[in-house]
Every structure is written in C-alpha cells, then in structure tokens.
Structure 1
Amino acid sequence: MSELIMAPGHERPTAADLENPLYYLQNMETVVAWVANYHSDLLLELERGCLRDFFELSRAARALLTRMVMRTGDLFRTDKLSYPELGCPEAEALDELVADGWLDANPLLTLDDIFRLFTLAELRAAFAPVLEQAGLAKNRPKARMKEILQEFYTDARTLSGWFGEVASPVVRVSHMALFDRIRLMFFGNLRQSWSDFVLVELGHHRYEQVEFTPEARAFSQRSEVDTYLAMHHCRESLDAGVHAAEVWADIPAATNNPWLTSRRDRLLLELGRQAERQGDRELALHALAASGHREARLKQLRLLERMKRFEQAWAIATQWEKEELSDAEAQGLARIVKRLAKKVGEPVPSASMNPEICEFTLTLPQTGGSVEMVVRDHLSTPEAPAFYVENTLINSLFGLLCWHTIFKAIPGAFFHPFHTGPADLVREDFVNRRQAAFDQCFAALKDGGYRQIILETYAAKQGITNPFVAWPALSEELLNLALDRIPAADLKIMFERLLLNIREHRSGFPDLVRFSKEIDEDAPRYEMIEVKGPGDRLQDHQIRWLHFFARQGIAASVCYLRWQDSEATT
C-alpha cells in the first residue's frame, strides 16, 4: 500500500496509460492516494481507515468498486455488472466487497428504487397480483403503474420483501458519501463526475507543476468541506424545484474563506433567481443583496424596478456607477439609470457616444478557403505580413507575461496536479487575490522587461497547458513581430481590460493582425481586422472590443468580404 499512497512532496502522481484495461482503476487510486495524503487531516480516522482498506482489496474488487462508484446512484443489480477486464468472475469480486463492508447485500429499497432498477416487463410480472386484486389492468405504462402502486406501498423494504427470492440481487455501495467527499476535495467541486478524471487520457496534456502546500489548500479545516457539501445540497434542492424559502433556511452562514464565499455568492444568485420565478420577490431581493456575484446587482436593480422601488434602486445604481465595471455591466447599468432617472425626477444622464468603427469592403474571387484566410492571404505581403489570430495572440501574450501569477498556488486555485489552469479563473475575486503579483507583471510593461519575460517563458514552458496560451497558433515569427510592433502601452490597456472580466473579455478579438513595415512612431505599426463574410454580422462582444480600440487609438477595422460574381469575371 505504501507504494500506492504517495505523500506530498514526493513523486508526483501520473496519469494511467489507456492501453491498460484497468486504467480507470489506476486513476481512481491516484485520486484516493492524493486525498489520503494531501487532505489526511480533514478526514476522520474511520474515513482514513476506509481508504487504507481500499488498497487492501484485491485488484478485481477495487476495479469493480471503482466502476460502481463511477456510475449514477448507489444501487446496482448484480446481474447487470459485466466487466471482463476484472480477470475473474464478477461474483467473486462482489463477495469480497460484501464481506469487507463495501457493499450492502440486503439494502432497503423504496418503490422509486424498484422502478429505476427493473424493467417494465419485470415489474408487470411482479405486481400483477396486486393490480389484478385492485381490478386494474396490468398492462399500464411504467409511470402510470408506479403512480397507482404508490397508494399501496409507502415503506421501504428489502428486495425479498418486494419480489420474494425470484429477483436478481441488488447491492448498495456503503461508502458513497465518503467517495463524494473525496471527489470534492480532489476536484474542488461536485459538478465534475468521476469520469472527468478516471476515464480521460490525462497524458494528452502537459501540466504546470504547481507547488502544493498546506497553506494553498482551499479547505483548511473539515468544517469547510462540510459547508461546501451543505451548499451543494442546497443547489440540488433548488434544481429539484424545492421552494426557495425552504432552501434559504439551509444556506450556510458566511465564512472567512474567500473561495467558499465565491461559491456561496453563486448559490445566493441562483436562489434569488428561483425565488423571483416562484413569486417570492422579497426573498429574491434579500438573496441578491447578500450575493457578491457580479451578476447579482443588475438583477437586484431590475427587480427593484419591477417592484416600483425606484428611489432604492436609484441609490444603489448611482453608487455602483462610481466603481470599475466591465463593458457589459456598464451597458446594463446605463440603461437602468436612464430609466430610473425619469422615475425619481433626476436629470437623464447623457448617453456616452461610442466612436465609429472603421469599415472597408473587399470583393474577391472564391477560392474554397474560409473568409478569414481569403482576406489574410489578400492583405498579407512580405513587408506587411498578416496572421489569423482571433482570440489567440493577445491572450497568449498575457498568459506568457503573467504565467507565474496565473499558476500562483493560493487557496481555491489548484486541487490536484492535473489542472489546465486555476479553478477560480473566472470568479469575481480572481484578480483581487493576486493583485500584487499582477502589479509586478504590469511593472515589466512599464520598465521594458516584459519582452524578455515573455520570450523566456515561451522557451521554458513550450507546450505546457495554460488557459490563455494557444501554442499551435503562436509561432516564433508571430511572437517576435508582435513584441516588435505592438507597443507596451497598448498591451497594458488590453491586458487591463481583459482582467476586468476574464469570462467576457478573452473573446471577441478581431480575426487578423497585420504588421506594418513602418517604423515611424506616428504611424500605426500594427492593425487588427475583423472579417465578416456575406450575411455575417458583428457580435456584441466584438463590437465592444472594436469600440474600445477606437477609444484607445488602436488601429482596428472590420472588413466586409464580398465574392466576385462569376459572370462578371468571365
């Protein structure tokens, strides 16, 4: 067992080879070993004992248990378990798991359980006497039959209590709650299933080696794991349609854990939405006001408008206007403020005028290529090369400059060695929690050191996955041209806008970049070009970037491509 459970600071876990028929077991062992070591202090002694016992099982029993844990639910018909790769009959592995307490061979089953586990034909045969005695036809559809039988069966019973000894045996996984806790501590969420790790070829990526220290863990104490599990239960209740007022009573209290706070903010946002849909507007207001999620405030203002609480909405809106906002937030707030001003007797704010977007049209023959490549090839010359970059270039330059900040080991950012990027990348406090480190990155743009940092990172980290860096699109030629021709001041303002709202702003960049041969400081040394083919139009996030470029004096335009009429060219 000592070879399987690896202590932090020793050999890093690796992904299984998919050529191994039991690769899923190897990946599961990696998960269990990682949590058993890295989060040992957050587990009860009974739980630690279970994990030690897991590795004492035979290989076949561990593999079968892994297969069952990966599937939906905790109840299984033994006759439906077929895994030839185990190397022994499933019955042998089942007997071992039952003997060691991993499976309950005689679980209590509800009517819902029975209807999930057995086919319509089996159910009709089993319940025919009851239906016949009640004077009901036994050939009813499954849902209707269940509805009728609910009047007769309200208690849970063993399988023999339902069907006698004729039904195929059913077992229940005994420690599913422990496996859920392990999954949470490994992934950092319960949204991801076991298959997201156990059944994927992790070796497809090269991962940055983040330093895992006790101080960098998202969960520093067991109570924080319990708080997350409680919030997950609340979210499941909301998704199941439970009234928001019932769920509100179960929302855990706020903690001083920033990562858990962001999760709680998202839960409160969803509860506010649900409360409003269910007609409980007062609760919706309370939930939205308590949420720090960036979407909550706009929703709160719109709800106050609908409730005709204009003065209250105006006070919140005018205060919010003073804060730094993303384009989408500023746009939504401006619309609300304009409507509210009329309601509260305040002057209607003058609408800020966006600068015009530069446009031009090209008429070119069809070559069979995409519109972007056709325009790129037409505009590109040896003196002024053009590249198709879309969202890759500026994001990549940012990712290379800020590499160590992006992969900074702070609580809630990394849970295991197989992250392609920080788990909190698009959360509201991503930048704030790393502000000092980002300030150092931006200082390099000011003192000129950024070029060396980017080039050294490009060489040292080649091929390692980064959520901003698109390696296949970033050639040395493109990288050097970009560093030569794009001024540091332009990179700074683009990076600043990117960080205002990463989810929103890392897309919408123009398709092409063309570099000028001009070295004159007064002439643009590069330009960005969005390409639109016949019938295509600009999307909102593209328009916002183009307006931003125009305001900042960055050369950017839209090229509308038209195809030459075939008859006109003959």
Structure 2
Amino acid sequence: MDYSSSPMTTEFTGQRPQTANLEDPLYYLSNMDTIVSWVADHHADLLTERERTRLVAFADLATGPRALLTRMVMRTGELFRADKLLYPELPVPEAEALKLLVQEGWLDNSPELSLDDLFRLFTLAELRPVFGGWLHQQGHPKTLGKAQMRELLAEAFSEPKPLQHWLAEAVGEQAPEVVQLQDMALFDRIRLMFFGNLRQSWTDFVLVELGVQQFEPVPFTPESRAFQHRSEVDGYLQMHQCRERLDRGEPATEVWADVPGPVDNPWLTSRRDRLLLELGRQAERQGEQELALQVWAASGHREARLKQLRLLERMKRFDEAWAIACQWRTSELTDAEAQGLNRLLKRLAPKVGADKPEPVDNPTLREFTLTLPKPDTGTVELAALRHLGTDDAPVFYVENTLINALFGLLCWPVIFKPLPGAFFHPFHIGPADLTREDFVARRQQAFEEHFGLLKTHAYKQHILDTFQTKQGIANPFVFWPVLDEELLELALHCIPPRHLEALFRRLLTNIKEHRSGFPDLIRLVPDAEQPEQRYEMIEVKGPGDRLQDHQVRWLEFFAREGIPASVCYVRWQGDEASL
C-alpha cells in the first residue's frame, strides 16, 4: 500500500486486520505490519510527509531486514551489538539484513557511544583490556569490578566517541560492530497512535496471539479518534517525557516548567491530570510544598483534591483547608472520597472552631456463623456453598462475575460506543477510557436509556439476547467461562430490577473500585412470594479472615438500599476450643 498518497480511511468497512498465528516463525512481523498499516490508514493526516515516506520504505523492505528491524524496535534501547542479534527464523543471515538496513538509513553503524553505553554493551572481560593500562597507571588493581571501574573512569572518559576509538588499541580489527536505530521517534509515535498510550510495549501486541480472542467490531471514523491534530500527539509525547523525567528523579520545579498547558481535548486532559497528580507527589517529596499545592489545585484527578487538603493540614493552614473541604463536600463524591473527606473534616473542625460533622450513621450488617467439618480439599467458600445450598434454593459461587456480567450485557452498546479516545484499534477488550473520571459523563444519556429498560419487562430478554449474540466476545464486565444461560435466567427472575439499577448506578460511580468487592455467593430462591426474598448475597469469611474496606462499603450500601446480603463467618469443628 502506498501510505504517502492514500487518504485517511473515514470508516473501516473492509476486512478487519488479522493477527498472525504463533505457528508462523515470523508472526511478530505480520503483527507489526498490521500496526504500521493501521496507523498509516487511519492517522495519515497526523503524519508528516517524511514519516509517511518512511512507512512506505518500511513496507517495501525485504522480509529478512524488515523482521530484524522489528525485533530491534521491540527491544529496549536503541544501541545493539551486531554479534548479539541472533534470530534463526530470519530467511537471510543477520549480517546481510544488517547491511541492507544500514544502506537504507534505518541503522547507523558508527554511532558515538558514551561510557555508560559502552558498559551496557560489553562485559567486564571485554572492557578490562581497554582500560586496564590507564587504571594501572592510576594505581588501581586489575581486579576491579565493573561498577568500580565505571566510577573511576567517569571523569576522564566523559566524551562520547565511536566504538572504534574506544576499542581499537585493545582488540584491533576484531571489534564487534555496534548499530543504532535511527527512527525510534517515529516508531514511538506509531505505537502511541495505535495503543493510545506509551505504557504498553510492542510486545503487548506483536508477541501476543490475539487470534484466540474475539473482539467487538467498533466503527472507526475521524470523529472517534482521540487525536484530531498532530499537535495533540506532540502534546502527549511531551507529557510522556515529563513523566519519564519525574521517574528519573528530576526536580519537580524543572519538569513543571515543561508541562503542556490545559487543552480542549477531554482525553488528553485526563492524561494531563494524571501527570499533575504525580508531579505534585514528587514536589512534596522534594520539599516543594507550595508547588505541590499549586499542581494539585490544577489537576482534575479525583485523588488530587484530598492530597491537597491533607498537605494544607500538615502545613497548619487549617482555615484554607476547611474552606476548600466544605466546598468540596457539596460535590458528588465516591465512597472512598467521602470517607477520606469526613475524616479530614473531623480533624479540622476543632482547629477552626467549627462543629464536628455529624458522624456517618453506618447501617448494621447482617452476620451469621457456621460451624462446619473442615474439608480435606476445597476452599471455605465451597464448603459454605455446599452447606447452604438446597434444591429449592441453590447457591452459586459468583463473587464479582454475576452483577458485572448483568451490567455488561444490559449496557453492551454503551460500553462499546465509539467516542473519541475510547478505541484506537480493533483489538480492544473494552474502552480505553473505562476508568477515567469522565467515562460515565460522556455516555450519560445512553446509560439512562438502557437503565430505562429496567422499568419495563424488556430488560430480561435484552440481556438474554445479548448473551446469545455476543457469546465469547471480549467485554471488560463479562467473564464468559463462568457464565451460563441457566444462571442468567434464574438471576433475572430472582433479582428485582430496581435492585439491579441501584447496583449498576453504584458500579458506575467508581468503576475501578466497584467492579470488585461483591459477595462470594448468591442464594437464589425462585419460588419465594416476595421479590426481595428471592435472593441473598453472602460474603464468606473463614477463620482469621476479615472484611476489606471495599467489601464493607458494598455491604453498607446493600443495607441502605434494602438489598439482601449477609456475612457468613465459617468456623471449623474442633477449633472452637482455641477461639
């Protein structure tokens, strides 16, 4: 395909790209070709003429050189020893492929190397002949370790130079060749536009047999792209560089100066908010408290506000913290945020002469204890399940799978709505913005429409139809191996729709946290007269086990909403005397 002249595809309507079979020794090359062609087709307008030309040149490379170049791009760093590049699956010798890649400008075979580069590429045994004479003249023994040698050489050998200048006197013409990749910036840009992030490596796609997984077909249009302008790609890359600098421990004040300003792109805004969250943490660790406050105030990340308030409290700026906290209290908060804020207000109140906030009236949890024979095999949950289940009231081990699946099946079209920044390629298990703060807000109307089905009789058939038509297709809320139609039908008969809506709405307030913490078991009583008596969720705790915070929050929610749930504490027969 001539990437330099083809217009960007407005919607992917042809055959969807396929991943290679791992039985093909060059499967990774097929997957790399898929990535390059996908980005060239769907993001051509965000590439420069030179970049498009380079992608054409990549596609035109013979199989052997293209496969070797792919292997090098996938590895860490840009410098490689030619004698260490051993890939027997290549259809040509490595030396022949390297020669062509040098000729075509993909590799530089005489790069300048720093002392650090040299010590990364060569062994202690190879380096001793190079620096032994100098070290001996300085009065150092020949038995120095690699780290000690590097430290002693740092000041005298600080200038980069070609490998031949480093090793010529020691090994002469036998010096191995070192090559450097020349287009890593382009490949990083391609990786970003394909994955939507630089956290994922090439191996996340190139070395994975994605063919064993089925993916929901999502239409790709120019409007659904996360990046609409090249400047947005540049901004993301700039933010990524800032994050890397923070990870290296650079002063937060220096990194802050290079953070891009606010943007109109909501997807990039969330990325910037996360960067500012980490920048504030770094600033506080480095003693830059005022900068930390400034950065967290500018971040829209849900964790930033509480960190800002806690720092103000430590700085004894109680009035300022109290004013911000009181204003924040009127916002819609997640359970974790509300819990942290209430604790903070309780501490701040006496410092500012205010009344302490009313204590949260947490409901009493339903609990019961079972004393059972200790089984030879199996978990405590299975022991409780066998004891509690009857023919009229079967018990199922569902934990986080059932409620999530019911939600995922009801709201399938909403989850896979092709919004900007949600899908970057055809191989997503779910939307890339799933745990972002604005995931629900961007889909609010669509969620309300599907929740509206719960007020009619249509929701049951809708969920069952989706179960049939989407069987096996990846969905972040549906774990197919543990889901069957009999359990779905029984659950839909027993769980009242108003309870489902309450559960689903809480799930959406914090998807990252609320997808877990559901009770282990569910008891279904289909013949009970009252709908509220047709099911019960049961959290099982064995000897010495206790409820986790996120489990307690779910159980308290159940109690407030009138959703039947309880905690079952299991004790083993014969252990009572030790209690």
User: How would you bin the TM-score normalised by the shorter chain?
Assistant: over 0.9
Equivalent residue number for residue 461 of structure 1 = 470
* Structure 2 counterparts to residues 128-277 of structure 1, below 5 A: 128-164=132-168, 165-277=173-285
Equivalent residue number for residue 64 of structure 2 = 60
1:188-240 C-alpha deviation (Å, 9 max, x unpaired) = 11011111110011112110001111100000010000000000000000000
Q: TM-score, normalised by structure 1?
A: 0.97
- 1:419 and 2:422 correspond: no
**Aligned with residue 73 of structure 2, among 69, 75, 83:** 69
How far has the Cα of 1:355 moved from its partner? Answer: 1.0
Tell me how far apart the structure 2 counterparts of residues 120 and 444 of structure 1 sit (CA, whole Å).
69
* Structure 2 counterparts to residues 305-324 of structure 1, below 5 A: 305-324=313-332
Stretches of structure 2 lacking an aligned partner (at least 5 in a row): none
Residue aligned with 2:161, SS: coil
Worse overlay, 289-298 or 146-155: 146-155
Tell me how far apart the structure 1 counterparts of residues 259 and 86 of structure 2 sit (CA, whole Å).
41
Tell me how far apart the structure 2 counterparts of residues 228 and 331 of structure 1 sit (CA, whole Å).
33
Tell me how far apart the structure 1 counterparts of residues 413 and 298 of structure 2 sit (CA, whole Å).
33
- The letter of the residue matching 1:321 is R
Give the root-mean-square deviation of aligned CA atoms.
1.6
Equivalent residue number for residue 82 of structure 1 = 86
- 1:374 and 2:378 correspond: no
Tell me how far apart the structure 2 counterparts of residues 558 and 135 of structure 1 sit (CA, whole Å).
72
Instruction: Report if the CA contact (8 A) 2:532-2:563 is conserved.
Output: no
Tell me how far apart the structure 1 counterparts of residues 227 and 266 of structure 2 sit (CA, whole Å).
11
How far has the Cα of 1:30 moved from its partner? Answer: 0.5
1:447-484 C-alpha deviation (Å, 9 max, x unpaired) = 33221221111111001010001112211111011111
- The letter of the residue matching 1:252 is P
Residue aligned with 1:514, SS: strand
Tell me how far apart the structure 1 counterparts of residues 496 and 392 of structure 2 sit (CA, whole Å).
19
Structure 2 CA distance for partners of 1:225 and 1:379, relative to 1, 3 Å = same
- 1:347 and 2:355 correspond: yes
- 1:538 and 2:524 correspond: no
Tell me how far apart the structure 2 counterparts of residues 320 and 449 of structure 1 sit (CA, whole Å).
39
Instruction: Report if the CA contact (8 A) 2:464-2:485 is conserved.
Output: no
Tell me how far apart the structure 2 counterparts of residues 522 and 428 of structure 1 sit (CA, whole Å).
35
Equivalent residue number for residue 41 of structure 1 = 45
1:158-193 C-alpha deviation (Å, 9 max, x unpaired) = 111111144210000110110000000000110111
Equivalent residue number for residue 431 of structure 1 = 440
1:41-60 C-alpha deviation (Å, 9 max, x unpaired) = 10001000100001111100
Tell me how far apart the structure 2 counterparts of residues 163 and 531 of structure 1 sit (CA, whole Å).
66
Tell me how far apart the structure 2 counterparts of residues 327 and 55 of structure 1 sit (CA, whole Å).
52
Instruction: Report if the CA contact (8 A) 2:400-2:520 is conserved.
Output: yes
- The letter of the residue matching 1:30 is T
* Structure 2 counterparts to residues 511-526 of structure 1, below 5 A: 511-521=520-530, 524-526=533-535
Residue aligned with 2:436, SS: coil
- The letter of the residue matching 1:246 is E
- What is the percent sequence identity of the aligned residues? 65
- The letter of the residue matching 1:37 is D
Equivalent residue number for residue 124 of structure 1 = 128
How far has the Cα of 1:518 moved from its partner? Answer: 3.9
- The letter of the residue matching 1:528 is M
**Aligned with residue 502 of structure 1, among 499, 507, 511:** 511
Tell me how far apart the structure 2 counterparts of residues 567 and 235 of structure 1 sit (CA, whole Å).
54
How far has the Cα of 1:517 moved from its partner? Answer: 3.7
**Aligned with residue 19 of structure 1, among 18, 23, 40:** 23
Tell me how far apart the structure 2 counterparts of residues 105 and 566 of structure 1 sit (CA, whole Å).
72
Residue aligned with 1:154, SS: coil
**Aligned with residue 104 of structure 1, among 104, 108, 121:** 108
Tell me how far apart the structure 2 counterparts of residues 530 and 522 of structure 1 sit (CA, whole Å).
21
How far has the Cα of 1:523 moved from its partner? Answer: 5.0
**Aligned with residue 302 of structure 1, among 310, 313, 331:** 310
- The letter of the residue matching 1:216 is S
Tell me how far apart the structure 2 counterparts of residues 421 and 453 of structure 1 sit (CA, whole Å).
20
Equivalent residue number for residue 488 of structure 1 = 497
Equivalent residue number for residue 366 of structure 2 = 358
> Which 4+ stretches in 1 moved above 6 angstroms?
none
Tell me how far apart the structure 1 counterparts of residues 332 and 263 of structure 2 sit (CA, whole Å).
26
Q: TM-score, normalised by structure 2?
A: 0.96
Residue aligned with 1:86, SS: coil
Equivalent residue number for residue 291 of structure 2 = 283
